């Protein structure tokens, strides 16, 4: 059964799991916004996330990405090139507005890893920006793109949804930031590096509370969504509570990144339950 472990590690290392997380958040936005699913956009987000994350992890230096001697990394490289072709196919099916927004988000992602000029820093290296840039790109991909893909106006509810998504991703990134404290360079000045693990967790608790409270400022109150977000918030609080520098294997890379999938599943169950109650009444 050792092969199962190899497959699971490849699933994580090749960024397939994080791609499912991004697509799950897209599906949640589709349900909240009550629009049709654009499967071409979902396909682009899935394969594009794999390419983007693998490039950041393994291909920051282009020559090292093109010339790979490690067989395992070679397999991930080949897989990434296949995903690049599929992402390219889906990209050309998108509307011009969505495609332009994708290029802007892609530009931020590329500059996150690669400096614009040879002697300048990439965006990741700018003090304190790393986490916020990742949250911004995730929010853009999972909320802004479906908004642009449909004739929806930017109103109070959609604005709050974007803020909620940004806050949610920030919370999900905190366990990674805490885990990577000993590995991140001091120039990154991540939140745990600046204020310590304990205070970082307290900020995380506050962000979770904000994530829930923002829902009550929306003009449309959806019972299934409120119930789901409360459950997800409890999960986030437990994750923050047990997060430490010395984490169990797969704690962040699998369990934390599984939260968007759990969010989608709980939302689906909550909608079924509410619909069943309405049918009975």
Q: Percent of the chain beyond pLDDT 70?
A: 87
In this predicted structure, what is the pLDDT of residue 117? 43
Domain containing residue 90:
2-280
Write the pLDDT tens digit of every residue in 129-150.
Answer: 778 888 999 999 999 999 999 9
In DSSP notation, 53-119 reads HHHHHH-SSHHHHHS---HHHHHHHHHHHHHHHHHHHHHTTS-HHHHHHHHHHHHHHHHHHS-SSTT
pLDDT tens-digit map of 40-92: 999 999 999 999 998 887 765 444 555 666 788 888 989 999 999 999 999 99
Query: Any residues with CB less than 8 A from the CB of 42 and at least 6 apart, and which?
Result: 23, 26, 27
pLDDT band at 190 (very low <50, low <70, confident <90, very high): confident
pLDDT of residue 62: 47
Q: For residues 249 and 208, give the distance between their C-alpha atoms in angstroms, rounded to a whole number.
A: 24
Rounded to an integer, the average pLDDT of 186-212 is: 88
Do residues 139 and 104 make contact, with C-beta atoms less than 8 angstroms apart?
Answer: no
The number of distinct structural domains making up the chain is 1
> Is residue 238 over pLDDT 50?
yes
257 close to 251: Cβ distance less than 8 angstroms: no
**Confidence (pLDDT) at 248:** 86
Gap between the Cα atoms of 229 and 25, Å rounded: 13
Residues 73-77: contacts with CB under 8 Å, at least 24 apart: 75/10, 76/10, 76/13, 76/14
Of residues 75 and 119, more confidence is placed in 75
Averaged confidence pLDDT in the chain? 87
Q: For residue 269, is pLDDT > 50? A: yes
The more confidently predicted of residues 81 and 189 is 81
């Amino acid at each position: 059964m050792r092969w199962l472990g190899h497959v699971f590690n490849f699933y994580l290392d090749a960024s397939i799991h994080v791609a499912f997380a991004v697509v799950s958040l897209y599906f949640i936005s589709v349900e909240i916004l009550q629009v049709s699913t654009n499967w071409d956009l979902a396909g682009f987000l899935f394969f594009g996330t794999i390419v983007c994350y693998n490039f950041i992890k393994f291909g920051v230096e282009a020559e090292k990405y093109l010339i790979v001697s490690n067989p395992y990394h070679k397999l991930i490289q080949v897989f990434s090139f296949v995903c690049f072709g599929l992402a390219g196919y889906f990209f050309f099916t998108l509307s011009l507005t969505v495609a332009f927004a994708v290029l802007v988000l892609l530009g931020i992602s590329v500059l996150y890893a690669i400096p614009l000029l040879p002697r300048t820093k990439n965006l990741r290296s700018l003090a304190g920006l790393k986490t916020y840039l990742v949250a911004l790109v995730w929010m853009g991909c999972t909320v802004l793109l479906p908004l642009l893909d449909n004739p929806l106006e930017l109103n109070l509810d959609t604005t709050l949804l974007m803020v909620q998504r940004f806050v949610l991703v920030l919370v999900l990134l905190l366990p990674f930031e805490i885990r990577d404290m000993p590995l991140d360079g001091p120039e990154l000045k991540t939140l745990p590096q600046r204020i310590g693990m304990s205070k970082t967790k307290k900020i995380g608790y506050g962000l979770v509370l904000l994530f829930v409270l923002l829902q009550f400022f929306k003009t449309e109150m959806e019972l299934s969504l409120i119930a789901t977000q409360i459950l997800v918030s409890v999960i986030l609080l437990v994750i923050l509570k047990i997060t430490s520098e010395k984490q169990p294997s797969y704690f962040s890379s699998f369990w934390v990144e599984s939260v968007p999938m759990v969010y989608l599943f709980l939302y689906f169950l909550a909608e079924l339950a509410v619909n069943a109650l309405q049918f009975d009444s």
